[in-house]
Amino acid sequence: MAIPARALPHSADGRRRPPLRRAVSSLGVRNYRLYFWGQTVSVAGTWMQTMALAFLVLKLTGSGTDLGAASAVRLLPFVLLGPMGGVIADRADKRRLLYVTQSASAVVAAVFAALTAFDAATFPLVMVLSLVAGCLTVFDNPARQSLIGELVPRDQLSNAVTLSSVSVNLSRVIGAAVGGTLVAAVGLSAAFALNAVSFAGVLVSLALMRASQMHSAGRVPRAGGQVREGLRYARRTPALFLPLLMVTITGTLAYEFPISLPLVARGAFHGGAGIYGLMAAVMAAGAVAGGLVAASRGGRRRAASLAGASIGWGVAILAAALAPDLPLECVALLFVGYGSITFNSYAKTALQLAAAPSMRGRVMAMWALAWGGTTVVGGPVIGWVAEEFGSRWTLVVGGAPTVLLGLAMLPALRRIDHAADRPPGELEPEPTPAGAGTGSPAPADVEPTA
């Protein structure tokens, strides 16, 4: 099959595009450019709130276990409602759904700001508001992730997904730096208030998008059994199942940094919000660099590269666990950030490209459940590990399984690559998922691997 010219890392005159231009190529699409900057502003506010919330819980209870529980309750709705959020994203107009979820999230942030400003926050209230925020995220996350596929042509999808991860981590740099300064200088309420205001960024970007330039896959008609259908589809498609399995394990144990880093900052380096802000910003800076490198790479991405990313990321986390002082910790965290975005962007790209458009919302809901929802289990575990064994062990229990996972999955991912390399006539066609809209491309139009 001929590869579209835009998918190649070359300009129209045949010359190879500079790496930076390749890295940001999807920003040439107006709707995606609006999405990118709107998300950058909004997620920066969310990271400010994440930091403020961690120190609010520590201020109220002083307990690492309670901090893990507060993070877990925010993600409990992913476990209970996550797949349904994906079904709603497949059925609904994604932009309209995001108007609702983003506006409601702004209200929650404003309530947090008011409670902290008037010293009225209690741990039970924090838990209730965190649960409400989690319910909104269940529907917001798959809509945001799957919307990317409607903003850019298919040959730009891999670049757009990776740049979306860059946006999240660029936001983390901004949010950690600004949030840490605000919390130290002004107080927790300022970080919550700024987060409430930041949702205006994504709302404005959604309003400015041009519907005529959308690449809509059509809405999936309402039908029974669509949650089970999505789960079966992922389970029977190795190019989906294996990345989701890897994301589930690493999401449970390794990607618990909103819990582990505040504990390490306080326990290993005897600091507070300022030290945590520095550590989070350094890790996010490494992630931004890693995302730009990943986005600049042309050509089809091999499934086995996900295993390599897992091994490298796990080694970096273990190095951060062993760093004897703060400067060396920051060096290690640069590589932790680099590894996290490389692993995450490889996994998300694999899922977006392997999923049929009519299934994309449900598949990305599974990714959100695997990556973030597993904190329901991982959060309390990490908090307990810190209290029983010390804060550095929160990184060890994430890094070691991540290395072993990459080594264990490498042969299976290589088999997926070998299957993808066979001539198309030798591959068995995937069954068309039931309930797909008539305007959606059939799964045969979807590449089997990233």
Taking residue 404's Cβ as centre, other Cβ atoms within 10 Å add up to 14
Burial label, 92 (beta-carbon count in 10 A; 0-12, 13-18, 19+): middle
Q: Which residues of the chain have pLDDT under 70?
A: 1-20, 176, 216-224, 297-302, 372-373, 420-450
Looking at residue 445, its pLDDT comes to: 29
73-90 burial by CB neighbour count: b if 16+ within 10 A, else e? bbbbbbbebbbbbbbbbb
- Give the CATH superfamily of 28-209+226-422: MFS general substrate transporter like domains (1.20.1250.20)
Question: Sign of torsion, CA 135 139 141 142?
Answer: positive
Looking at residue 380, its pLDDT comes to: 83
Show Cβ contacts of residue 307 under 8 Å, excluding neighbours closer than 6 positions.
406, 407, 409, 410, 413
Looking at residue 219, its pLDDT comes to: 59
Looking at residue 214, its pLDDT comes to: 80
Show Cβ contacts of residue 334 under 8 Å, excluding neighbours closer than 6 positions.
282, 283, 285, 286, 289
pLDDT tens across 229-283, in order? 878 888 888 888 998 999 999 988 988 887 888 889 888 888 877 788 788 888 8
Contact 5, 278 (CB under 8 A): no
Looking at residue 273, its pLDDT comes to: 73
pLDDT tens across 84-110, in order? 777 787 777 888 899 999 999 999 999
Looking at residue 4, its pLDDT comes to: 38
Task: Identify the CA nearest to 109 among candidates 67, 185, 52.
Answer: 52
Contact 160, 31 (CB under 8 A): no
Q: Please tell me the pTM assigned to this model.
A: 0.65
Residue-level length of the chain: 450
Backbone angles phi, psi at 10, to 5 degrees: -130, 155
Looking at residue 239, its pLDDT comes to: 84
Task: Identify the CA nearest to 417 among candidates 358, 346, 361.
Answer: 346
Looking at residue 11, its pLDDT comes to: 47
Task: Identify the CA nearest to 142 among candidates 217, 60, 87.
Answer: 87
